[in-house]
Amino acid sequence: MNSFSIYFAFIQLLLIYIRNTQMLERTRKFEIQHTLLRFGRDYSVRDINGNSNYKIVYKWLHSLGKTLKIEENHKVLYEIKHVVGRLYAEWQIYQNETLISQLKHEPSIFDVIYKVKSVNGNYRIQGNFLLHNFNIRKRRVKVAKIHKNHVHSSDTYGIDINSKEDPAFIIALCIIIDVIRHHYSDM
């Protein structure tokens, strides 16, 4: 390797680092907490100032599989549906009854990986169920980070979302990860 190649590789790594740290500087921070119900899960979402932004409601006996709605001011923004009968986890996100996104599990040995095809772009979610940490990337750039808040006794997650992303959509992805995690922990 000559010195030019090393210099070029260093510049590339520096640019990736700058791009990822810029994402963290322009973020909106939320806290997601779920309440365990007898027939499903409801969630509350608050920003860092404690304002209630979104409500996630579990719809039981609605259809085969799990269905959740993300609401803002009593208006449904997204509906999340579990696709049953698949070997690996598959979820669909609807907006105004139109399919806008599909999340599929990608088999991996070390990490948990999900690919998301969406009208908003393609995403990759990678993380670890045991550590409760996940990164969401779009075009290889981190656009959100999901992390377990160990201060609370119940399941509470912090989520940092790039200000250019739709927070309700990213929160929908976070909710799917939590539902999948609880599905496997109940087995």
Query: Which is more confident, 13 or 126?
Result: 126
Whole-angstrom distance, CA of residue 47 vs CA of residue 29: 6
Q: Express each pLDDT in 1-60 by its tens digit.
A: 677 778 777 787 777 776 666 555 578 999 888 776 545 567 888 888 888 778 888 776
DSSP 115-158: EEEETT--EEEEEETTTTEEEEEETTEEEEEEEE-TTSSS-EEE
Q: Express each pLDDT in 133-185 by its tens digit.
A: 899 999 999 999 998 876 655 678 899 999 999 999 999 999 888 888 766 55
**Residue 99 forms part of a structural domain:** yes
**Residue 13 forms part of a structural domain:** no
Structural domain of residue 157, as residue ranges? 28-185
Query: How much is the average pLDDT of 100-126?
Result: 92
pLDDT at residue 1 in the model: 60
Could you give the number of structural domains in the chain? 1
**Residue 88 forms part of a structural domain:** yes
Name residues whose C-beta falls within 8 Å of residue 31's C-beta, 6 or more positions apart in sequence: 45, 46, 47, 48, 149, 156, 157, 158, 159
Sign of CA dihedral 115, 100, 29, 162: positive
**Residue 23 forms part of a structural domain:** no
User: What's this model's pTM, rounded to 2 decimal places?
Assistant: 0.79
CATH number at residue 169: 2.40.160.200
